[in-house]
Structure 1
Amino acid sequence: MLSYSSYMLTAVAALLVTCHALRKCPGIPGLPGVPGLPGRDGLKGQPRLPGLIGPSGNLMGPPGRDGLPWPQGLPDSLDAELHNVLVNLKHRLSRLEGVLALNGKIREVGEKILASNGKEVDFASALESCEEAGGTLATPMNEEENKAILGIVKQYNRYAYLGIKEGETSGQFKYINGTPLNYTKWHQYEPNGKGTEKCVEMYTDGSWNDEKCNLYRLTICEF
């Protein structure tokens, strides 16, 4: 026959296994120590540590290095709802891009989206308009991007400023973020401004020319 202490240990062990499987029962306080058997010193058993109780009454996971319990993830219902919202938003954005592209409002090339407001302004105003919209002036970094920008230039039949300017050294042009050019499409005998033409425009054949920054040119932005 099981002793009282053995019976209690067996019952609590079974309860803990059930709680762990269902994850619905409150934390279990620690059991008191099992009294020691009578002996010469009459020592009693050491008390057991109390069980951990979670904020909602569930058993908590093991503490982290700072002594706090491990964080719990989002409930399945919220996680699924957030996923559905993101999928729907991505779908709607994709449809909007398709409509704008079909109407000739935007052009996609690689990871970039190109767009123009059709306005002709000086370089500083063109750059400001693009930055206010969350982008910057169109900056071709390869032949494919240059052709995409050229498509908009031909659409409006206007020269356009590019996101390129002359640096401190005469004849040395850089991207407007200050990095050196890794691609160029200069027209024959260009650039030839020798420090007096610090901005760059695109001709209607896709080639580049250094030009003054106060002339009015088509605004083309990239995002």
Structure 2
Amino acid sequence: MLSYSSYMLTAVAALLVSCHALRKFPEVPRLAGIFGLPGRDGLRGQSPLPGLTGPSGNGGLPCVQGLRNSLDTELYNILVNLGKRLSRLEGVLALNGEITEVGEKIFASNGKEADFASALESCEKAGGTLATPMNEEENNAILSIVKQYKRYAYLGIKGGDTSGQFRYIDGTPLNYTKWHKYEPNGKGTEKCVEMYNDGSWNDKKCNLYRLTICEF
């Protein structure tokens, strides 16, 4: 059975029929992914639950320009109220240590361990990706989850064809690093990166089981 907060998120996903809604509430797809509901892709004309279908029967109302003013205003007011409740929910989750928010990113873990490919897949299915620190603040946020579970975690970084060269998952060069002393030292045989419990990084094989931490 879905929790009250999950029903709220489902309602938001179903009501996002106005084009300005996603711009007004960018946190909706992030939080939806954390709760296992459809993430960013799932909000594009798809219904999160059976029965929430649009007039065309395609699983959801499309983003439509020129809705009647009264309908648009009513939906807008509903979204404003839901947005406020989501903000409070986000605060509660952060207070309980279930999520960590830094800037525009939210980091969260299901507490499970997996190899790199499986961890990445589970994050992407939830609408996010593997946690990828771009600066010291984000690295510390991920570290707080590593310390909470007392387990090393894979990061969203992969080794390239050149030995010792690492890039983000999308192929762009790293703009921030936190390598442990004398790391990386795998000489091209260790293509993945794990975070130690002091926040430093180590190159590691990709088939080991490490804590899954996602970012949204």
- TM-score normalised by length of structure 1: 0.66
Residue 111 of structure 1 pairs with residue 104 of structure 2: yes
Q: Distance in 2 between matches of 1:112 and 1:165?
A: 20
Residue 214 of structure 1 pairs with residue 207 of structure 2: yes
Q: 2:159 maps to what in 1?
A: 166
Q: Distance in 2 between matches of 1:74 and 1:140?
A: 41
The alignment of Structure 1 onto Structure 2 pairs a total of residues equal to 152
How much has 1:99 moved relative to structure 2? 1.9
Q: 2:76 maps to what in 1?
A: 83
SS of the counterpart of 2:120? helix
Residue 180 of structure 1 pairs with residue 173 of structure 2: yes
Q: Distance in 2 between matches of 1:118 and 1:77?
A: 45
Q: Distance in 2 between matches of 1:74 and 1:130?
A: 35
Q: Deviations over 1:145-182 (max 9, x none)?
A: 00000000000111000000001111110001110000
Q: Deviations over 1:17-38 (max 9, x none)?
A: xxxxxxxxxxxxxxxxxxxxxx
- Poorly superposed stretches of 4+, deviation over 2 Å: 72-80
Classify 1:164/1:73 alpha carbon distance in 2 versus 1 (closer, same or farther; 3 Å): closer
Q: Which amino acid aligns with 1:94?
A: S
Q: Which amino acid aligns with 2:121?
A: E
SS of the counterpart of 1:194? coil
Question: Which of structures 1 and 2 has the bigger CA Rg?
Answer: 1
Q: Distance in 1 between matches of 2:171 and 2:109?
A: 24
Please report the RMSD computed on the Cα atoms of aligned residues, expressed in angstroms: 1.4
How much has 1:79 moved relative to structure 2? 3.2
SS of the counterpart of 2:179? coil
Q: 1:12 maps to what in 2?
A: none
Q: 1:154 maps to what in 2?
A: 147
SS of the counterpart of 1:82? helix
Classify 1:126/1:75 alpha carbon distance in 2 versus 1 (closer, same or farther; 3 Å): closer
How much has 1:82 moved relative to structure 2? 2.2
Q: 1:62 maps to what in 2?
A: none
Residue 139 of structure 1 pairs with residue 132 of structure 2: yes
Q: Distance in 1 between matches of 2:169 and 2:130?
A: 9
| Greater RCO structure (CA 8 Å; 6+ sep) | 2
SS of the counterpart of 2:101? strand
Structure with greater proportional helix content: 2
Residue 203 of structure 1 pairs with residue 196 of structure 2: yes
Moved more, 93-102 or 132-141: 93-102
Q: Distance in 2 between matches of 1:201 and 1:124?
A: 13
How much has 1:74 moved relative to structure 2? 4.8
Unaligned runs of 5+ in 2: 1-64
How much has 1:77 moved relative to structure 2? 2.3
Q: Distance in 2 between matches of 1:73 and 1:197?
A: 54
SS of the counterpart of 2:151? coil
Q: 2:114 maps to what in 1?
A: 121
Unaligned runs of 5+ in 1: 1-71
Q: Which amino acid aligns with 1:163?
A: G
Q: Which amino acid aligns with 1:180?
A: P
Residue 190 of structure 1 pairs with residue 190 of structure 2: no
